[in-house]
Amino acid sequence: MNEPAHERTAHLDETGVRINAEQRLYGIAAVITSRREHAEICDALRPMLLPGRTCLHHYDETIDRRLSIAKVITRLTLEGALVVVETTAPRQQERARTRLLTELLPRLQHQECVDHVVLESRAGSDKHDRRTLDRLRRSRVVTASLRVDHVRKDATPLVWLPDFIAGSYFAAEHHGEPEPWALIAESHLIDVRTIRDGE
């Protein structure tokens, strides 16, 4: 991960899985890329779309398709990825998202040398992310030079990457589907961290 800051972007997306009636596992993946590789990454992912679809979404794919997509991802040039996970109550997803973004954004800027973060838009809920970013800037945890944008999932194939990586991790850990995650994790540097109460 030695790319200059002005060349590095992180694309983020969320996923989750119900553990039981009272607990849900919520996670956000951040995939770090060099902007000079973006065109090549997009060109590799677009052919994986099924007719009539505008984006790849891990949840919507069959097991065979997930394996095929994972094999394509293994060949991509990625700078690395982060996955942060927290156990939360089913109705506290927004709180968990705030906490995980508070963990991710400073690391992306200060440790991973990212200057642009792109999140999948959640329409009206994007205001919560902007509040989190404003709070981090006011407290000087991140600086104004960290640009953060929200885009629709069909805006760029780069947004499909964090969805697929997070989904593959959760499928391996909780749905007995280890193969796609194993392929991706063997091919790319991915740091997985569970955030616990008190951290």
Per-residue pLDDT tens for 25-40?
999 999 999 999 999 9
Q: What is the DSSP letter of 95?
A: H
Residue whose pair of structure tokens reads 């991973």 in the numeric block: 112
pTM to 2 decimals?
0.93
Mean pLDDT of 172-177: 94
CB-based contacts of 18, cutoff 8 Å, min separation 6: 24, 25, 90
User: Taking the domains of the chain in order of start, what are their residue ranges?
Assistant: 11-195
Pairing state of beta strands 8-18 and 24-34? Answer: antiparallel
Give the separation between CA 171 and CA 185, rounded to whole angstroms. 13
11 backbone dihedrals φ, ψ, rounded to 5°: -105, 130
% of the chain exceeding 90 in pLDDT = 84
**11-195: which CATH topology?**
Nucleotidyltransferase; domain 5 (3.30.420)
Residue whose C-alpha is closest to residue 116's, from 13, 32, 191, 29: 32
Report which of residues 17 and 109 the model is more confident about: 109
Q: What is the pLDDT of residue 26?
A: 94
pLDDT tens across 146-169, in order? 999 999 999 999 999 999 999 999
Residue 1 — pLDDT band, cuts 50, 70, 90? Answer: very low
Q: Is the pLDDT of residue 3 over 60?
A: no
Max CA-CA distance within the chain?
47
Mean pLDDT of 128-132: 95
Q: What is the pLDDT of residue 69?
A: 98
Q: Is the pLDDT of residue 17 over 70?
A: yes
Q: What's the mean per-residue pLDDT of the chain?
A: 93
Q: What is the pLDDT of residue 116?
A: 97
